[in-house]
Amino acid sequence: MSSRRTLSPTQTATRTRRYLARRVAGPAAVIGVLGPGLIAASAGNDAGGIATYASVGASYGYSLLWVLAVITVSLAIIQEMAARMGVVTGKGFADLVRENLGLRTTAFVMLVLVAANGGLVVSEFAGIGAAAELLGISRYYAVPVMALLVWWLITRGSYRRVERVFLLMTLIFFAYPVAAFLAGPDWGEVGRSLVTPTFSLEGRYLLLMIALIGTTITPYMQIYAQSTMAERGATFGLSLVKLDAYSGALFSNVVAGFIIVATGATLHRMGVEVQTAQDAARALEPVAGRLASAVFAVGLLGASVLAAAVLPLSTAYTVCEAFGFERGVNQSFRDAPVFHGLFTALLAVGVLVALVPGLNVIQLLVWTQVINGLLLPVVLISILRLVNNPEVMGEHTNGLVYNVLAWATTGLVVLLSCAYLVITLLGIFGVS
């Protein structure tokens, strides 16, 4: 028999919450004590988020800022729904799906989460490789070494000793708001772009719009918000849930908006599209000058390592919770084979894909956010089915306004996905 201690459900939830919270990038880690909503919403501003926002700004200037403004409202509402379910039911997302939506739906939703988070794990190791090469280190050395380090730190329970170093490294991304001001954008144009919708059926435009939604409303975020609130329970009242969700969405998307403005005022003005990490770094030149690449590399490395550690771990916890498998980093492989196997497999796949020769890192980072956007409706529909079930939520089901806005967000993603698919197929057959 193993001498390792088995975690209780409460202890497992606590450990999951702590590791999930570490995925947050940038200053949100410092002010995250204000609430889970702030942490969860800000988590989207990681390596993939930075690449997506930079690509949006470089390719289309400020013209997609209105989308960010609209989905800020959507993000606030969706985060509040998930957090409210946690407070009212005292249960996590995986538990509620299994208990109320059936085993087949549970299996499908978990498959979607593994696909979405698995793609993010790949992108984070690609980010590690890109950061290493900006610092003059081959990714073929850096990626495997960092993967082994992450695996050892997590499985040996010593990750918390070094995570603060990586969190401090991600603070560098807060230079983007400063760069936005120093670049001297046309603030009148910025304001008009925020309130004036524009639309294009161009394939790349639709692709970046889906990626923008996918990186802003990531499925992981709702699971984190609900599991954290489930643990806090009555200590976090419903009025505070709403305030926390709204303030978190606003804070994180203001930061995202500044990234778009900074890259729009620099890269778009110069006619530079973000094809490499070096391109994304150039937007920091108003702040860091010739050191922009090194500064960006340090921030990218910190954000990528944090996410590469926490995403596979949180995915393993969620899947094992859904199906009742033993879980916990202090469990042996023999006692929790599914948990350790899934965690290790996600790391291994991330490393292997990130080392593919000729890999375009920025495109990979953006495409992982596109995948998140495409898979987002599955999670949103599950949340809406649960939050509108009186047997689950009692008197705290959604009101009309919430349902309209949440279903509208789901419908928007589906329509964008279909439009992009149609345009892509027409392009294949030579129809413009």
- Predicted confidence at residue 429, as pLDDT, reads 66
What is the model's pTM? Answer: 0.82
**Model confidence pLDDT, tens digit, residues 147-167:** 999 898 888 777 666 666 666
- Predicted confidence at residue 40, as pLDDT, reads 58
Return all residues near 164 (Cβ < 8 A) that are at least 6 apart: none
Reported residue count of the chain is 432
User: Amino acid letter at 189?
Assistant: E
Enter the DSSP assignment of 18: H
- Predicted confidence at residue 30, as pLDDT, reads 36
CA nearest 251: which of 298, 216, 286? 216
- Predicted confidence at residue 24, as pLDDT, reads 40
CA nearest 121: which of 360, 372, 312? 312
- Predicted confidence at residue 66, as pLDDT, reads 95
- Predicted confidence at residue 414, as pLDDT, reads 84
Query: Which fold does the domain 24-428 belong to in CATH?
Result: Amino acid/polyamine transporter I (1.20.1740)
Cβ–Cβ under 8 Å, residues 426 and 412: no
User: Amino acid letter at 219?
Assistant: P
The angle that helices 400-428 and 65-89 make with each other, rounded to 10 degrees, is 130
Return all residues near 305 (Cβ < 8 A) that are at least 6 apart: 124, 128, 146, 150, 166
Which ranges of the chain have pLDDT less than 50? 1-14, 16-34
Domain map (residue ranges) of the chain: 24-428
- Predicted confidence at residue 194, as pLDDT, reads 94
Give the Cα separation of 428 and 222 in Å (integer).
36
The angle that helices 361-387 and 93-134 make with each other, rounded to 10 degrees, is 170
Burial of 308 (0-12, 13-18, 19+ CB in 10 A): buried
Give the Cα separation of 43 and 17 in Å (integer).
13
CA geometry: angle at 70 spanning 66 and 73, to 5°? 150
Burial 35-51 (b: 16+ CB within 10 A, else e): bbbbbbbbbbbbbbbbb
The angle that helices 238-263 and 65-89 make with each other, rounded to 10 degrees, is 160
Give the Cα separation of 174 and 320 in Å (integer).
36
- Predicted confidence at residue 26, as pLDDT, reads 39
Query: What residue spans of 135-237 are helical by DSSP H?
Result: 139-155, 163-170, 175-182, 187-195, 203-216, 219-232
Give the Cα separation of 26 and 116 in Å (integer).
22
